[in-house]
Chains A and B, each alone.
Chain A
Amino acid sequence: MRLRRDKYHFQERGGFTVDATVKRGAEHLPFQRVPDPELCVVFLRQHIGPPNEPLVGPGDRVTEGQKIGDGEGHMCVPVHAPVTGRVTKIDTAYHPGLGAESEAVFIERASEEIPPLRLSRFDPDRLQDAEPDALVGAVREAGVVGLGGAGFPAHVKLSFRDKAEYLVINAKESDPNVACDVRLKQERPAELVAGIRAMARMLNVKECIFATRAQRGEFPELEERLRKAGVELAHIRPSYSVGSDKLLVKELLNVEVPCGAYPPDVGAVVHNVFTAYAVARGLYDGEPLTSRGITFISRYTGPRNLWVKVGTPMRHVLEHMGIPPDTVQRLVVASMLMGGAVPHADVPLVKATAAISAFDPQERSPYERERACIRCGYCNMVCPVSIYPVLIMEAEKRGQRGKLRRLHAEDCIDCGLCSYVCPSLIKLTGYLRRAMAEVKQG
């Protein structure tokens, strides 16, 4: 058993450790702006919820910041043009979050410089005068979704005024290959705290908690600003699984979110730290969400923090990093433990993309050498929600739907830890996802 305890070795259940050394040193590397690509591919659906309708058509000229897609439903979040240029087509492309084709607006960048469009702004010093509903509406108009990876509409979460007692800012940066949150805390503390204050106003909570695994004194400016804003700073143990909203709520408030419910149902609204930043930019600068920080990792470059336009094809990012796309074999979008590998380099970045990892052919997937299950139970020991992945896998293979329900397959949070520790190198993810789907189908 490895008993290494440092900020790059996250402690999980069963005494297991998640190795995050791949991002070692990234916290010292400032964001590097990736130049705008020639072609941006902006998905109409970048949120959990129904897709948007395009507001532009082929041949239309668009200006950076212009709304190009929106929908009627409460869950819809508009999308905006990340560059000024011309719409070449509306077509489907591979969506890294959905793992399937989805409709997108293709924009060819224009060479001329035109000032980007901005939304109406709020004065941060007169926040108390602003109506919470107006603020929530502005967040929606700015196209803000949960930037931790899920893409849940931020304005929906910010509407739980009746339920919310706590606003929890998830700054745990617990994914082994994501370091951009740390940089944000370092580089943009003022905007971050301004965003948190606006969110607190919208939710009218009794307490704001900023959850981080950073040590006291690591971000002095941010800590000072949080203190002045009355936000409680909670230093959480380094753990990957505690990065999940439900487990973070348990860790902070010692309350479990009941099966089938969400954190707001127990009074806690959890937002990612990047979302708070995007809220601030949208409200106070009138800047819709068209770019974000990400962490890029490859064997050649090591970890890097980049600032990239939404809709930028991965190919462009690779080339910017000096990596010929044809030298890559696997390209992983988002967390190395939870994100899928995309089928080609033309897949564009979406709002919720927090990381890209490029693996070359020498870095083969460890799961290629899968062996038979030895029922060691490691997967059960590490599971943060206390279900039994190996039993679920067995039941799923046999098609035992009733047993899947009894085993609570639907409670899986898709963290990937069971596969990560499996000595037989079995990817349980596929079985678990199918099992969840079967249980949810009823």
Chain B
Amino acid sequence: MREEPNLRYISELPPHVHSGITKDKVMLRTFLLMCIPALAALPAMGLSALAHIAIAIGTVLFCHYSLAYTELLSKGTTSYKSPCSPLVAGMIVGLSMPIAAPYYATVGVAALTMVVFKWLQGRLCGRKYLNPAAASKVLLLAALSIAAGLGTGMMFYPAHLRLDLWTAAGFDEVVAFYDGRSALSGALSLVLLKDHGWIGGASGLAVLVAGIGAVLWIRLKWRIVVSLLLTVGVLAAVMSLVTGGSMVDRLAFHLFTGSVIFMGFFMATEPQSTPLAEGGQYLFGTALGVGTFLLQQLNVLGGSIIVLVALNLVTPLIDTIGRRRPYGHGGVR
């Protein structure tokens, strides 16, 4: 009989070192980056913007700790340890709310995000197929539209419904409509500081800075953003050529609204509900761009999240295409 060594070590598979980039770090970085558009919303939209963000984060954290407590009571342990992911979810909800929305809507979206589309979806489906914040907003929007009419469902922006973006004159009217509300004029207001629409889109420029930061710092799925912005940009340019009018205003209007630029960088790139394959990401972004542009034209401003949720549903299909060619399958690269 061979002697068994009395001293046993932990025997495990490699690797034995890690890069140090953990999920919490990624979440914290995302949160910090989103503070840029959040801060930019203050001078443009006032304290109300801050209130929406604080309410969203507060609600989400309340739900997070309630779920943690419930889990602790029932199982003796909880998977809801770190508040980093809920912090990000709360910030996204806050920034994706239109400034004209009532606070109860923000509470509703934040609670739905945490309980239904993060917790329940995770439990039932094993992972998140739908973007939690977008799906919650769509659900609430639909419920409000059915219960109180489309005007309310549009988050208290019924004025959108009579805008006409299919003609140059109609589009000029839209720009004038927003112009009258801002100290800046036309495209400048749309790009730099606007006091309407999504809180996260108050400053398109701030989102752009934060978004580029996110590409570099947290490696978000930039292919989706690039293809989305390119698609919307090209369609806007074509529309401007067809209908006449200022192309700069058209581009600014279609690209720099919160529902495009903020949604593009910080919602459409949500990792779990979007494609993993590179080609699939381009396809996803392009389809999102087409759908978003069409809804914009139909006056459903902010409707990009409807397209996003619809595309989330077909992501598993999109993931089967557009994969890279592995090494050794086709000669010289």
Interface residues of A (CB under 8 A from B): 1, 14-19, 22, 91-92, 176, 246-247, 250, 254-261, 325-326, 328-332, 335-346, 357, 359, 365-367, 369, 371-378, 380-381, 384-388, 390-391, 408, 411, 416, 419-425, 427, 429-430, 433
Q: Which of B183-229 contact A (CB under 8 A)?
A: 216-217, 219, 221
User: Which residue on A lies nearest to B13, using beta carbons?
Assistant: A429
User: Which residue on B lies nearest to A373, using beta carbons?
Assistant: B127
A sample of 29 inter-chain contacts (CB < 8 A) reads A1-B219, A22-B17, A91-B2, A92-B2, A258-B328, A261-B328, A331-B9, A336-B14, A337-B15, A340-B11, A342-B11, A343-B5, A345-B5, A346-B5, A357-B16, A371-B23, A372-B127, A375-B272, A376-B219, A377-B271, A380-B277, A387-B326, A411-B327, A419-B15, A420-B17, A421-B21, A422-B18, A427-B13, A429-B15
CB distance from B5 to the nearest CB of A (A): 4
Question: In whole angstroms, how far apart are the Cα atoms of A382 and B14 in the complex?
Answer: 17
**Partner pick for B221 among A16, A91, A344, A377, CB 8 A cutoff:** A377
Whether the Cβ atoms of B328 and A336 lie closer than 8 Å is no
Q: Which of B223-276 contact A (CB under 8 A)?
A: 271-272, 276
Whether the Cβ atoms of B15 and A380 lie closer than 8 Å is no
Binds A, one of B93-101, B157-165, B287-295, B317-325: B317-325
Whether the Cβ atoms of B127 and A365 lie closer than 8 Å is no
Given A377-B276, A423-B23; A408-B15 close (CB under 8 Å) = no
Given A384-B327, A386-B326; A176-B7 close (CB under 8 Å) = no
**Partner pick for B8 among A16, A260, A344, CB 8 A cutoff:** A344
Whether the Cβ atoms of B14 and A338 lie closer than 8 Å is yes
Given A1-B219, A423-B23, A429-B14; A388-B127 close (CB under 8 Å) = no
Cβ of B22 within 8 Å of any chain A Cβ, yes or no, is yes
Q: Which of B113-147 contact A (CB under 8 A)?
A: 122, 127
CB distance from B283 to the nearest CB of A (A): 15
B5 — which chain A residues lie within 8 A by C-beta?
343-346
Q: Which of B19-62 contact A (CB under 8 A)?
A: 19-23, 25-26
Question: In whole angstroms, how far apart are the Cα atoms of A374 and B16 in the complex?
Answer: 21
CB distance from A183 to the nearest CB of B (A): 22
Cβ of B10 within 8 Å of any chain A Cβ, yes or no, is yes
Whether the Cβ atoms of A376 and B15 lie closer than 8 Å is no
Looking at A19, A176, A256, A411, which has the most chain B CB atoms within 10 Å of its CB?
A: A256
Whether the Cβ atoms of A256 and B21 lie closer than 8 Å is no
Cβ of B75 within 8 Å of any chain A Cβ, yes or no, is no
CB distance from A436 to the nearest CB of B (A): 13
A328 — which chain B residues lie within 8 A by C-beta?
9
User: Which residue on B lies nearest to A18, using beta carbons?
Assistant: B19
Whether the Cβ atoms of B15 and A416 lie closer than 8 Å is yes
B221 — which chain A residues lie within 8 A by C-beta?
377
A411 — which chain B residues lie within 8 A by C-beta?
326-329
A176 — which chain B residues lie within 8 A by C-beta?
17
Whether the Cβ atoms of B332 and A385 lie closer than 8 Å is no
Whether the Cβ atoms of A14 and B327 lie closer than 8 Å is no
CB distance from B224 to the nearest CB of A (A): 11
Question: In whole angstroms, how far apart are the Cα atoms of A209 and B115 in the complex?
Answer: 60
Given A384-B327, A420-B17; A365-B333 close (CB under 8 Å) = no
CB distance from B217 to the nearest CB of A (A): 6
B332 — which chain A residues lie within 8 A by C-beta?
254-256
Interface residues of B (CB under 8 A from A): 2, 5, 7-23, 25-26, 122, 127, 216-217, 219, 221, 271-272, 276-277, 319, 323-333
User: Which residue on B lies nearest to A326, using beta carbons?
Assistant: B7
A345 — which chain B residues lie within 8 A by C-beta?
5, 7, 9
Given A91-B2, A247-B327, A388-B323; A374-B271 close (CB under 8 Å) = yes
Whether the Cβ atoms of B14 and A257 lie closer than 8 Å is no
Question: In whole angstroms, how far apart are the Cα atoms of A22 and B319 in the complex?
Answer: 38
Question: In whole angstroms, how far apart are the Cα atoms of A419 and B15 in the complex?
Answer: 7
Given A246-B328, A256-B328; A423-B25 close (CB under 8 Å) = yes
B15 — which chain A residues lie within 8 A by C-beta?
336-338, 416, 419-420, 427, 429
Whether the Cβ atoms of A343 and B8 lie closer than 8 Å is yes
Question: In whole angstroms, how far apart are the Cα atoms of A341 and B14 in the complex?
Answer: 7
Question: In whole angstroms, how far apart are the Cα atoms of A308 and B219 in the complex?
Answer: 44
Whether the Cβ atoms of B17 and A424 lie closer than 8 Å is no
CB distance from B270 to the nearest CB of A (A): 9
Whether the Cβ atoms of A408 and B326 lie closer than 8 Å is yes
Question: In whole angstroms, how far apart are the Cα atoms of A2 and B26 in the complex?
Answer: 13
Whether the Cβ atoms of A343 and B328 lie closer than 8 Å is no
Question: In whole angstroms, how far apart are the Cα atoms of A31 and B219 in the complex?
Answer: 41
**Partner pick for A246 among B272, B325, B327, CB 8 A cutoff:** B327
Whether the Cβ atoms of B276 and A390 lie closer than 8 Å is yes
A325 — which chain B residues lie within 8 A by C-beta?
7
Whether the Cβ atoms of A391 and B319 lie closer than 8 Å is yes
Whether the Cβ atoms of A19 and B127 lie closer than 8 Å is no
CB distance from B330 to the nearest CB of A (A): 8
Question: In whole angstroms, how far apart are the Cα atoms of A427 and B10 in the complex?
Answer: 15
A424 — which chain B residues lie within 8 A by C-beta?
22-23
Looking at A176, A326, A366, A423, which has the most chain B CB atoms within 10 Å of its CB?
A: A423
- Please give 4 more A-B residue pairs, beta carbons under 8 A apart, in addition to A18-B19, A422-B18: A255-B332, A260-B328, A386-B326, A421-B21
CB distance from B18 to the nearest CB of A (A): 4
B127 — which chain A residues lie within 8 A by C-beta?
372-373, 375
Whether the Cβ atoms of A332 and B216 lie closer than 8 Å is no
The 4 closest A-B pairs by CB, nearest first: A366-B18, A385-B327, A416-B15, A344-B5
User: Which residue on B lies nearest to A177, using beta carbons?
Assistant: B17
A18 — which chain B residues lie within 8 A by C-beta?
19
Question: In whole angstroms, how far apart are the Cα atoms of A261 and B328 in the complex?
Answer: 9
Question: In whole angstroms, how far apart are the Cα atoms of A215 and B150 in the complex?
Answer: 68
Given A345-B7, A384-B327, A391-B319; A423-B12 close (CB under 8 Å) = no
Looking at A22, A340, A357, A374, which has the most chain B CB atoms within 10 Å of its CB?
A: A374
Whether the Cβ atoms of B331 and A330 lie closer than 8 Å is no
Question: In whole angstroms, how far apart are the Cα atoms of A427 and B17 in the complex?
Answer: 11
